[in-house]
Chain A
């Protein structure tokens, strides 16, 4: 087969309706004025995705944590003597059994407590001389409003060295940390979007300058602004989609790696980091969002420029 001069472009006289999506109509087929735009958009999409994923994962983790914690109360009995600790622990258990809303009260055995301390103190270093407080873990029914102050007072009557911790302070700090992270992520994304819009505006202007003669001729032979803009919409939609897709792939690889490494640490040290399927799907929409953003920005820019022509 002879190397016939391969047609690099489908004519607007031939293309089908669907073909129009990838065929340029009056712009040159190899439009090269903005080769770097998809890469820039890819970087922006990547940053957005990492930011969103971080925000969502932290949200998930703190949410799960505080939900769990708000169903658990802890009673701590601090006394240097083991016998007295045991006596007060039994008293605490009795009080708790008589308390409405309590599903389960469990005195945590000493060896479990020691196991919890071992990562810090080392195996066998928790000696009898070390006064480890006794702990009672209390599970309460979801939604039951236990008056913790009153319960604390009732416990103190029978066990003067007991103190009730409802983790509210801890939960409060956790929530404000999580809120702060979310605000920061939101602000970053807003800034990234603004930057992207500015980049697309510049890119559109340079494309318009590169094809000024073509645009002017189209205008002079009677093309409507919308028709001229449609060509640029298509071009920038493709740029935006390409960039978004590259960014999405890179971000997904990064996020998967991070989640894998986090899962490997395991244990109770780190809260479990994860994204729900719905959140993943949402992140998967990014290429569509970048193509829409790029297309819309280019459209506005072209129409604005055309509006200055007679």
Chain B
């Protein structure tokens, strides 16, 4: 489903942040992406979420060559991808419920359905009582859960999560991981960036290790 062949990436004209990245994500697979801070995990997720263009090599996403895809084509592909940003990136003036409902609304889903799906998923991440809260009034962990709810509400084919358990207690982390595993079982391809070794140890899934912009497989 996703294939990187000798992919390089840079910000502006500087040297490459990611160099010669080669890997493949099969449909329905589950991988961790690890590496020290600054290794380029978030940058790699930017390539995968189609928010940044690679500067070298060949990137295939949903059988489409991203290097040659048109802008309008990328917009359609993005709707098949859910992403939990490391810094959440919620819209501060929309309520938790509206933030979660936004991706469905954008896709043109009927309003009633949007509302019930968004409520259901918020309930699931334990925020059923915070539907009308604005993000600035939420705690870090609560914001994170809203961000997760927004990423999964469309039942994306590819789910990218950047440190999704970084701000929550172990119980909530467990709960969130359970949701991810559930989605994975239903066919969602999963890639979770984390530098939490305990989390990685608990799940026996393949690991992509980033170190100074280079990628290696491991377990």
Residues of A at the B interface (CB closer than 8 Å) are: 9, 11-13, 26, 28-29, 213-214, 217-225, 227, 307, 310
Contacts and interface: CB of A to CB of B under 8 A. Distances in A.
Contacts of A222: 75-76, 78-79, 103, 106-107
* Candidate in A213, A217, A218, A307 with the most chain B CB atoms within 10 angstroms: A217
A13 B97 contact: yes
B93 A13 contact: no
B52 A224 contact: no
Query: Looking at B71, B93, B101, which has the most chain A CB atoms within 10 Å of its CB?
Result: B93
B195 interface: no
Interface residues of B, number: 29
Given A28-B93, A307-B71, A12 B79 contact: no
B184 interface: no
A9 B94 CA distance: 9
A310 B150 contact: no
Contacts of B152: none
A201 to B, nearest CB: 22
A221 B49 CA distance: 9
Contact of B102 (A28, A221, A224, A307): A221
Given A221-B78, A221-B103, A221-B106, A213 B89 contact: yes
B89 A310 contact: no
23 contacts: A13-B97, A13-B101, A13-B105, A13-B115, A26-B102, A28-B93, A29-B93, A213-B89, A217-B89, A219-B51, A220-B89, A221-B78, A221-B83, A221-B102, A221-B106, A221-B150, A222-B76, A222-B78, A222-B103, A222-B106, A223-B106, A225-B75, A310-B52
A29 B92 CA distance: 11
Contacts of A214: 91
B78 A26 contact: no
Contacts of B51: 219-220, 310
B98 interface: yes
A29 B95 CA distance: 13
Interface string B99-129: 0011101110001001100000000000000
A224 B91 contact: no
Contacts of A221: 78, 83, 102-103, 106, 150
A12 B106 contact: no
Interface string B72-92: 001110110001000001010
Contacts of A11: 95, 98
Nearest to A227: B106
A224 B71 CA distance: 10
Contacts of B89: 213, 217, 220
Contacts of A224: 75, 106
B114 A13 contact: yes
Given A13-B98, A13-B114, A220-B83, A310 B106 contact: no
